Amino acid sequence: MVLPTRMFLVFSACIVGLFHVEATADTLSSQDSSFCHGGLQVNYPELFIDKCLIIPKANNLQEKISKTWKAPKICFPGAQKNTQYVLVMVDPDAPSRANPTSAFWRHWVVVDIQGNELKNGEAQGTSLDEYRPPTPPQNSGYHRYQFMLFEQPSGTRVSLTEKEKSSRGKWDLWDFTARFDLGEPVATLQFLTQNSKN
């Protein structure tokens, strides 16, 4: 089955009734907690993430994020309305944080996201990679799932090479960003989760 290259991304700024997980100093290392900046928001059906955190086992959240929920809704209140954006989601800890031989594992890449729509909570983008949920292997510990939002230079057509399309693992994210002059991410967010059977 051929997946469509265009997909609609529905973004929402305010979701009511979601489980909001608090991140505290004793749950994240200073390195992990300092990754997040810029105000990016990731919204799953029962989980609103607006800061770096660890997904708890409570309410089966680890299982739902891996097996039940589809692509999250993304919101960036700081988006510039006449700017396009590129969103990537990666796992730098594949197959484990102690031995990340397949990093970066590419979970999602969306380009041509219109800033005015992203800011308002309804955006359309081109999916270069369809969303794949976090699926950390059993007994591999916690994995970081990182969302990075980049400004897309005006008139730039962002794409993946044939080699990149052939495998999601061992992706050179920094070569990709340099190739299209994306610069540093304007906003980043990450959560940590592990296999729900651990």
Q: Any idea what the CATH number is for the domain that residue 105 is in?
A: 3.90.280.10
Output the pTM of the full model.
Answer: 0.86
Q: Mind listing the pLDDT tens digit for each residue in 67-116? A: 999 999 999 999 998 999 999 999 999 999 999 999 999 999 999 999 99
Query: How many domains is the chain built from?
Result: 1
Does 61 map to a domain? yes
Does 106 map to a domain? yes
The residue type of 58 is A
Q: Mind listing the pLDDT tens digit for each residue in 146-158? A: 999 999 999 999 9
**Confidence at 121, pLDDT banded by 50, 70, 90:** low
In whole angstroms, what is the distance from residue 191 CA to residue 114 CA?
25
Q: Which pLDDT value is given to residue 38?
A: 96
In whole angstroms, what is the distance from residue 102 CA to residue 156 CA?
28
In this predicted structure, the answer to whether residue 196 has a pLDDT above a threshold of 90 is: no
Does 165 map to a domain? yes
Does 112 map to a domain? yes
Does 1 map to a domain? no
For the residues of 140-198, what is the DSSP string, one character each?
A: S--EEEEEEEEEEPTT------HHHHH-STT--HHHHHHHTT--S-SEEEEEEE--TT-
For 15, phi and psi rounded to 5 degrees?
-120, 130
pLDDT over 90 for what percent of the chain? 75
Of 127, 109, 79, residue with least CA distance to 177: 109
Q: 34 is in which domain, residue-wise? A: 6-193
Does 198 map to a domain? no
Does 183 map to a domain? yes
For 59, phi and psi rounded to 5 degrees?
55, 25
Does 120 map to a domain? yes
In whole angstroms, what is the distance from residue 84 CA to residue 93 CA?
29
